[in-house]
Each structure stands twice: as structure tokens, then as C-alpha cells.
């Protein structure tokens, strides 16, 4: 039963890691850009949910009705008005723009929210569910459900909607998609908006599971990058599988050996499958 408990804990942790990585995976796979501010956007999402839940007197999950559209709009405007223009001069200027956004966001959050660690307060009654000798936290089940719903929604959006098909066509070959009438700049802006919307969801989960502060973005960026490399750029199923593998490695290794085992897994994947488990 100990092994089963470890596996369950690893899967629950891995689903949160998958949420951290799915936004970066989309940007790398579609826009072909490494968003160095991705971690800060996750922290921003956490702060927004932390502030809105008590302010409006609602459950933290309901804050997604506000934070997801807000972050989508922010991502759309940043890509359309700033990052997209930098990309016309090459990937290096665009990369520097995302680095600048990372610094601005971190300093802005430090100024407005101070350096104190924060945590999203949850209603009473969040305990554990007993299944024989197995214990599953109701919080972990809630995070698991949020992750699966988010991944399913993104999959349906990309696979069955016209905009999603245009995004996939642009990811495959932007020049051919443009010749077919796709507005590449608009598609890139929508992709960035979706990535930041997913960062809002990830931020909510981060805020409910862990404490965070304005400087926590770099650690989430590293986790997201590892998950994307293992799973393969632009692959939502790959991101989910990679997150679970990363979570299992950390739970099995424990506090002392979890990270080293995770990075060994990363090196093995890079050697065997340089484009990731689900990369093309």
C-alpha cells in the first residue's frame, strides 16, 4: 500500500506541474519563443486569486471567472503590441522583451504585495478521503480535477475549433498557414493569451497548494521548462505525462533526492528523445 500511496501522491503533484508547463509548451510549440516571464505570470495569477477571493467573498476557484479572461487579454495585448513587434527583428530581441517583462512584473509585485509569503485561504472542511489504507487530500483531488478540466478544454479548443485549427496549422508551418489566409500575428496573440490564461489557472493551484512570493517565478519557470522538454513542445498530452513523471520522480526521491532524480530523467529523455516524449 505504501507504493500505491507514493504513486497517488506523485500523480497529484505531477498534475500541478503539468499546469505550470502547459502555457510555456504552447508558446514554444506555436510562437517558437521562450517566454522568460512565464513564471512571473503564474505568480501574478496567484496574487490575483488571493486578492479577489476575500474581496468578493467567493470561493477561490470562482476567481478564475475573472482572472482567466483578464490574463488572456493581457497576453493578447502584450503579444500583439510588444512581443510581436520585437519578433519581426528576430528571436533575440523578443527574448529580451520577455526578460524585461519578467523583471518588471517581479518588481511590480514586490512593490504592490511586498515580500511576505502569501497563501490562498480555503474554506473549512478541506480534509482527507480514506480509501482503505490510502489517504487522498481533498485539496489534491480538487487540483487534480482543475488540471484535467484545463487540459481537456485546451485539447478541445485546439482540435475542434476553427481558431484552434489555425493555431495548429501555424505551429506546423507559419508560411503555408499565411498563404492559406491565416492572420499569423492574430494567431500568435491568441496563443499568448491562452498561455497566460492557463498561467492564471496554474497560479490559483500554486496559491492553494504552496506559499509563494514575488521572487517565486524563477522556480516555476524552471519546472515548466523541464516539463516541456520532457513532454515535447506544443503537446498537451506530452505535458501531462511529463508533469506526472516529474512529480513521481520527486515523490519517490523525497526531499533529498527528488530534484536530482528529476534532472537525471531529463537528461535521459534528451539523450533518447531530444524532441521530448511526444515531440515531432
Give residue 225's Cα distance to chain centre.
10
pTM above 0.75, yes or no: yes
Answer whether 169's CB lies under 8 Å from 161's CB: no
Burial 208-234 (b: 16+ CB within 10 A, else e): bbbebbbebbeebbebbbbbbbbbbbb
Query: Which candidate, 152, 187, 191, places its Cα nearest to that of 23?
Result: 191
SS3 35: coil
Domain ranges of the chain: 2-110+145-272
Quick: pLDDT tens for 120-165.
Answer: 988 775 677 777 777 888 898 999 999 999 999 999 999 999 999 9
Quickly tell me which residue has 510588444 as its cell: 82
pLDDT, tens digit, for every residue of 77-106? 999 999 999 998 988 899 999 999 999 999
CA atoms within 13 A on the CB side of 41: 36
For 60-78, how does the pLDDT look when each residue is reduced to its tens digit (9 = 90+)?
Answer: 999 999 999 999 999 999 9
Query: Which residues in 95-117 are b (16+ Cβ under 10 Å) and which e?
Result: bebbeebbeebbeebeeebeeee
All three cell numbers of 117, joined, read: 509569503
Amino acid at each position: 500500500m505504501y507504493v500505491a500511496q507514493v504513486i497517488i501522491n506523485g500523480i497529484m503533484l505531477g498534475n500541478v506541474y503539468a499546469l505550470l508547463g502547459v502555457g510555456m509548451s504552447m508558446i514554444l510549440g506555436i510562437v517558437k519563443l521562450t517566454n522568460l516571464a512565464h513564471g512571473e505570470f503564474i505568480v501574478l495569477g496567484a496574487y490575483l486569486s488571493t486578492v479577489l477571493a476575500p474581496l468578493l467573498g467567493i470561493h477561490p476557484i470562482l476567481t478564475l471567472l475573472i482572472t482567466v479572461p483578464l490574463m488572456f487579454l493581457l497576453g493578447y495585448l502584450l503579444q500583439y503590441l510588444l512581443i510581436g513587434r520585437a519578433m519581426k527583428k528576430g528571436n533575440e530581441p523578443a527574448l529580451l522583451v520577455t526578460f524585461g517583462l519578467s523583471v518588471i512584473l517581479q518588481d511590480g509585485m514586490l512593490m504592490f504585495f511586498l515580500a511576505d509569503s502569501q497563501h490562498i485561504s480555503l474554506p473549512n472542511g478541506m480534509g482527507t478521503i480514506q480509501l482503505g489504507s490510502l489517504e487522498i487530500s481533498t485539496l489534491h483531488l480538487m487540483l487534480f480535477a482543475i488540471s484535467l478540466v484545463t487540459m481537456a478544454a485546451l485539447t478541445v479548443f485546439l482540435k475542434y475549433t476553427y481558431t484552434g485549427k489555425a493555431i495548429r496549422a501555424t505551429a506546423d508551418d507559419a508560411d503555408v498557414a499565411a498563404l492559406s489566409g491565416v492572420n499569423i500575428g492574430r494567431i500568435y496573440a491568441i496563443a499568448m493569451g491562452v498561455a497566460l490564461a492557463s498561467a492564471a489557472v496554474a497560479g490559483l493551484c500554486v496559491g492553494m497548494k504552496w506559499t509563494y512570493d514575488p521572487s517565486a517565478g524563477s522556480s516555476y519557470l524552471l519546472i515548466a521548462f523541464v516539463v516541456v522538454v520532457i513532454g515535447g513542445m506544443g503537446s498537451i498530452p506530452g505535458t501531462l505525462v511529463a508533469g506526472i513523471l516529474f512529480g513521481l520522480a520527486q515523490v519517490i526521491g523525497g526531499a533529498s533526492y527528488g530534484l536530482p532524480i528529476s534532472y537525471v530523467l531529463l537528461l535521459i529523455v534528451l539523450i533518447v528523445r531530444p524532441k521530448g516524449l511526444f515531440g515531432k
